[in-house]
A = this chain, B = another copy of it.
Amino acid sequence: MSTISQPMTKGERTRARILVAAERVFAELGFHDASIVKITEAAGVGQGTFYLYFASKIEVFDEVVEDLNRRVRHAMIEASSQAGTRIEAERAGFRAFFEFTAEHPALYRIVRQAEFVSPGALRLHYTRIVEGYRDGLAKAQAAGEVGDIDPEVAAWALMGIGEIVGMRWVLWGPDVAPGGPTSAVPPEVFDQAMTFIERALAPGRTEEEGRS
């Protein structure tokens, strides 16, 4: 995920192990049912050790959210940067988002807890992703590839679509109960969702469309 060049000290390794365990336990049990004992047991360290690296339970939570946010954005940028056209980039970004969700259902399960656990963390998480969309849209708009629409609002709309489609088809699966196995968004759903987005963003004929 990152380009580890320097060797980790012993302490850093312990810290990293706790962080990984915390993500796993938070994802499985949610914030409140994830006790420090469970996290430290999963990490294979003592309870006291936890407090050598994190000031509180909330602090790990924040860091886990931060971490997930960094990783999902990285995945999206990585994917879309290799695309040729704007539309291809958009599809690649969404596909990366859904894939990340499928591989890390923690993204949802953890992030959606944030509202009450760590005020502001949720907003920060969404805002950062939205900024990526917005900047891309603004640039594309300047190039005439996107219709006349406020990039900020459009970006949030994309965020909402990604979030809900990810929840509906990745997290819940085709017919699966919540918590069950997750898989990627079915191709036809992905296509339909992208069609929806493309039409919303397509340039031209703005005047007529507004009237319909």
Using CB atoms and an 8 Å cutoff, list the residues of chain A in contact with chain B: 29-33, 87, 108-109, 112-113, 115-116, 119-120, 122-123, 126, 145, 147, 149-150, 153-154, 156-157, 159-165, 167-168, 172, 177-179, 188-189, 192-193, 195-203, 205, 209-210, 212
Contact = CB atoms under 8 A, between A and B. Distances in A.
Contacts of A159: 164
A22 B120 CA distance: 24
19 contacts: A87-B212, A109-B115, A113-B116, A119-B179, A126-B167, A126-B168, A153-B192, A153-B196, A154-B196, A156-B164, A156-B165, A157-B164, A157-B196, A159-B164, A160-B161, A161-B161, A195-B209, A202-B209, A205-B205
Nearest to A109: B115
A164 B111 CA distance: 14
Given A119-B179, A209-B199, A165 B172 contact: no
Nearest to A203: B212
Interface centre among A33, A123, A153, A156 (most CB of B within 10 A): A153
Contact of A157 (B119, B161, B178): B161
A163 B164 contact: yes
B30 A116 contact: yes
Contacts of A154: 192, 196
Contacts of A149: 192, 195-196, 199
Nearest to A91: B212
Contacts of A196: 149, 153-154, 157, 200
A89 to B, nearest CB: 12
